[in-house]
Each structure stands twice: as structure tokens, then as C-alpha cells.
Chain A
Amino acid sequence: MKKRLICLLPLIITIAIILQYEFAPNFRTFTALDRNAPTHVFSIFMGFFAAGFAVWNVLSVFSQKAFDALRKKAPIYTVALVLLLMYDILTLTMGFLPQPFVPWPDAILNAIIRDREILQLSLFHSLRLLFTGYGIGVVAGVLTGVAAGWSSRVCYWVQPVVKVFGAIPPVTWLPIILVLFTNLFVGAVTLIALAVWFPVTSTTMNGVLSVPKINFEAASTFGVTKFGMIFNIAIPASMPFIFQGLAQGMSIACTALLIAEMMGVTAGLGWYINWQRGWAEFAGMYAAVLIIAVTFFAVNAVLNLLRRYALHWKGDVV
């Protein structure tokens, strides 16, 4: 009974948010001309969540699996929703947080809808830059990492480079890149690729170096060629390490991407945030932040799925 109640909490809070938003008096009155005048968009948005939680609750009556999942997630969802409720109260209802610098949820959602075309384009530019740079950095990093892990002579030359230059935060290169590259897209790709190259190289190298010798010995008794030793033994065996580098590289790439866009590149979500700030469009800034959060979350989720697929032979991958 108590468990059921906990499972219902997210739904109850979601409905409370809608009621609070629709019926509580606002901190000031809005005219129709007001850009951020409250609409029903936030209610509709939360309505989807309410419907989702309702369906989940119904399912949980019939399916133990659905129930367990909901019971596990309900507390954190409840807390998140309570925070959202408080945020709405502190902004739109009370005007307690400094206005107009902290827009309420409805204003942010409306900013996304209003500017959807530019935001879409910005997202496209950001992702293109991110994946071009990340892709180049990963390929280069895995290649140098495998070469350095495989050959002690390559390692002799690569390791100091990784140690010295890898210690420099990638953002430090930005001013130099802005000076050197006339094409800022190429410059930003270089920056991101460089930022990704270091962690991927060092984890891959460590991965190849830590492959148990017995794997190579066993392979040699089957007559595996040198090519096979690298591609069928060394690389698959160091996959757990490589994925560690891929995850590290991704978080550095995301940081480098936004900094590049905020400091020079004239497209993308980072640029959009700065542009909106210039116009004192605070809702737009928050909108871009929200989209960035969702995007990076999704990118990391995809990366994690890939990792689980690639490492399913390990058994203890979480």
C-alpha cells in the first residue's frame, strides 16, 4: 500500500504543477503584447508527463517488472518534479528570483517553439562540429594508441607528447587556433579532435599494453599472423580501455565544442546562447541550455549503449 503510494507520487506532483501553474496568481499581470505572457504550453507539456505516469501506474498493476521499475525511479522523479514546482513558484508565482533574468518554464518552452528553426539549425551545426571533431580525434587516437601500445619504439615518441601536451587543458589552444585558422569550422574541428585525441590515445595505449601476454602466446600457437595479432587480439582485448577513452573524450569534446562556439564559431548552440544574451533574451538562453543538456545526455546514452553492445562478452559491464 505504501509502495503504491510512492509510485503514485510523480503523477500527483505533476498534476499539482499543472494546477499550481494554471490557477495560482502570477507575480504581475501580463498583457497580450508581453513576449513572455503565460500560455498553456507548459500545462500541455506537463500533461504528457502526467499521462505517461498514469499509464505507467496502470501497467504496474499488471506487470511486476513495470512496478519494480516505477518503484525504483519514483523517488528521484518526485524530487525532480518538486524542484520544478518550486522553481515555477519562485519565478512566475512569486517573482522571488530576479526577473527577467530567471525565466519560468513556460517562457523557456515558448522560446524553444518561437525560435525552433534557428535552434534546429544551431543544433545541427553543433552536432556536425561535435561529431566531425570527435570522429577524427577517435580514429587518430585509436590508431596512435594501438601503434604505441604495440611498438615500444612508437611508444617512446608518443608517450612524452601525450604526457606534456595532454596536461594542457584543450581550451588553452583556442586563441592560438583562432589566430592560425581562417576557417573557424576547421579550427574548431581541430580543437575538438585534439582534445579527444589525448585521452583516447593514452587509454588505448594502456589497453594494448595491459593485454595479458597469454592471449598472444595462445594465438601464436595457432599461427596467427602479426596483422591478426593486432586486429583480432590486441584491439578487441583492449576494447574496455578504448571505451573508457571514448567516454572521457566525449565529455571533453562537449566542453571544447561549447567553448569554441561561444568564443568564435558563428553557429551552433553555444553561439545561440551568446546571441540571445546580446538581445537580453533570457528565455532563449535557457532554452538553448535545456537543448544542450538533452542532447549531451542523449549522445552519452548512445555511447553507453554502444559500449554495452561492444563489451557484452565481459559480463560485468554496467
Chain B
Amino acid sequence: MKKGRIRIWDLNKTFTENNEELCAIENLTLRIGTGEFVSIVGTSGCGKSTLLRIIAGLEKPTRGMVTCDGIDITAPSPNRGLVFQEHALFPWMTIRKNIVFALKSSGRYSKYADTITPLLEKAGLAEFANAYPHQLSGGMRQRAAVIRSLAVSPDVLLLDEPLGALDSFTRMLLQDELIRLWQERQNTMIMITHDVDEAVYLSNRIIVMSPRPGRITEIVNVPMSYPRNRASSEFSNLRTRLLKQLNFAADVEQDYYL
């Protein structure tokens, strides 16, 4: 049976800071199916990072339930990989050692040891396998972080703005790579992004969140097939719809009203 189903029931998360309760997520319910590519968009402070960290098991919900394949998420697990905004490679290990360490720690080394070299090749990092993270460019580091998480072959890969710090050309290249890796692995992908284009280009479903308190305002299905055309009218219609939802494409004329 395929794995990687995420169920979230009535999730609430509050942080206490200076004796003030801050509601990061309020009454959030969501189901994500096996092999889905889901993007979460929203302005900063809408609790999307918190949501991802809860799914990863790094934070505990204040109320509600989050399960993966029917099992309560209480702690991080190799079944749910997380790619951080800042690559989070271990700087004292070479790229290959980073991957080997991840595999050995998850107890999957013997099973996936042979996949390391092909993965490195696919990510264009074969000749940098023995380089240290500081010797790589930002894009290479991010790619290395993605394949390190993929090497463990998690059922769910969580991506917290993995391409946010990159220039737009590198970003588009990596987006294609992400799609390829996802189609090959057929795992569940949950990605946070600030970039509406990125969300439309990559995902089956886009979840729009609003801040204070963080809640889902809309779920948009993206029925286009892969690879997608960024210049198509379908693409731009969806993008406009999302931008409106995020209050960035309001009636522009009003600004110039005299």
C-alpha cells in the first residue's frame, strides 16, 4: 500500500510570548493524499511554517490531531523529510557524507546506498560529492539539501521555501528538477512558497492561508498536466486568481482615482 497520507483535524497552535497568547494556527482541517504535490501560499505570519514543522514533528499542536498514514505525529521521523529554507547541510561533512549520514541515521543505508551516486548525478553534483557545503554555490547547496532528504526516501517530503533564497533562473531550473524527482519517486510533497508562479507551476493543489490567526482561506485545484507552460492563459488566470485571493491584485484603478 502506498504511503504518505496526511490528515489534520481541527489543528490549533498558540505560542505564548511575554505572557501574550499568539494564535499561529486556528481550527485547521486538511487532508493530503498519497503522491500529491501540495503548495501552501500566504503572506508571512500566516502560520504556514508552523504547520509544516508540526507535520514534521518538530512542534506539537496545542489542540487537534495530525496523523501520517493513520499514526499520530509526535516526533520527527525519516518518513517525513524536511528541507529547510536555509539548506541545513552539515558544514563539517562533504556532500556525500551528508547523504550517507542521513541514510545511516535513518537505518536505510543498506537499502539505498546504491542510489546516492545516481541522485548526485541527477542533481548535477556528481563532481562535487566530496566538496564541503561552503565550497558550493547557493543553488548547489539547496539541491544537495533536497537530494539528501530524498535519499532517505521519505513518504512525505516537506519543503519550507526551499528555493526562496535563489535567483529566478536557478529557481526555475530547480523547479523542473523537483517535478522530475517527484514524478520518479511518487511521494507526497508539501511545499511552502511565497512565489505564486512557483505554486502554480508545481502543485496539484494550492492552499491559500491568511494570517492572524493562521487559517485556510481557499484551496485551489490545478488541473493542468505536467510539464506546464508558464505562458499559457490557463496559467496566468490561475495566478491572477491567487494574487487576488492574497490581496495583491485588487482593482488597481482605485489607486489612481483623482
Contact = CB atoms under 8 A, between A and B. Distances in A.
Interface string A5-23: 0000000000000000000
Contacts of B107: 223
A234 to B, nearest CB: 11
Interface string A210-240: 0000110111111111001000110011010
A244 to B, nearest CB: 16
A222 B106 contact: yes
Contact of A222 (B58, B86, B101, B132): B101
A69 to B, nearest CB: 26
Interface in A264-318: 312-316
B105 to A, nearest CB: 4
B81 interface: yes
A68 to B, nearest CB: 25
B132 A215 contact: no
Interface of A: prevailing SS: helix
A202 B211 CA distance: 43
Contact of B132 (A220, A233, A236, A313): A313
B25 interface: no
Nearest to B86: A214
B82 interface: yes
A5 B93 CA distance: 47
B105 A315 contact: no
Interface string B75-86: 111101110101
B92 A313 contact: yes
A219 B102 CA distance: 7
A221 B132 contact: no
B91 A221 contact: no
Contact of B92 (A220, A221, A222, A237): A237
B141 to A, nearest CB: 13
Contact of B105 (A214, A228, A236): A228
Given A221-B81, A222-B152, A315 B132 contact: yes
Contact of B58 (A220, A237, A312, A315): A220
A223 B92 contact: no
Contacts of A237: 90-92
B134 interface: yes
Given A221-B81, A313-B93, A315-B132, A215 B88 contact: yes
Interface in A136-165: none
Interface string B18-58: 00000000000000000000000000000000000000111
B105 A219 contact: yes
Contacts of B93: 313
Contacts, number: 68
A316 B78 CA distance: 33
B84 A314 contact: no
B135 interface: yes
Contacts of B142: none
Contact of B88 (A214, A236, A312): A214
Given A314-B134, A315-B134, A221 B101 contact: no
Interface string A236-270: 11010000000000000000000000000000000
B210 interface: no
B203 interface: no
A239 B149 CA distance: 25
Given A220-B58, A222-B152, A313-B134, A214 B84 contact: yes
A313 B86 CA distance: 18
Interface in A198-216: 214-215
A214 B57 CA distance: 14
B95 to A, nearest CB: 11
A224 B106 CA distance: 7
A42 to B, nearest CB: 49
B80 to A, nearest CB: 7
A225 B80 CA distance: 16
B136 to A, nearest CB: 11
Given A218-B84, A237-B92, A313-B92, A224 B132 contact: no
A222 B84 contact: no
B134 A222 contact: no
B144 to A, nearest CB: 12
A228 B94 CA distance: 17
Interface in B89-111: 90-94, 101-102, 105-107
Interface of A: 214-215, 217-225, 228, 232-233, 236-237, 239, 312-316
11 contacts: A214-B84, A217-B58, A219-B90, A220-B76, A222-B105, A223-B78, A223-B105, A224-B105, A236-B90, A313-B91, A313-B92
Interface of B: 56-58, 75-78, 80-82, 84, 86, 88, 90-94, 101-102, 105-107, 132, 134-135, 149, 152
Given A214-B86, A221-B76, A223-B105, 4 more contacts: A220-B58, A237-B90, A312-B132, A313-B93
Closest 10 CB pairs of A and B: A220-B76, A218-B88, A315-B134, A222-B105, A224-B105, A222-B102, A236-B92, A223-B78, A313-B132, A313-B92
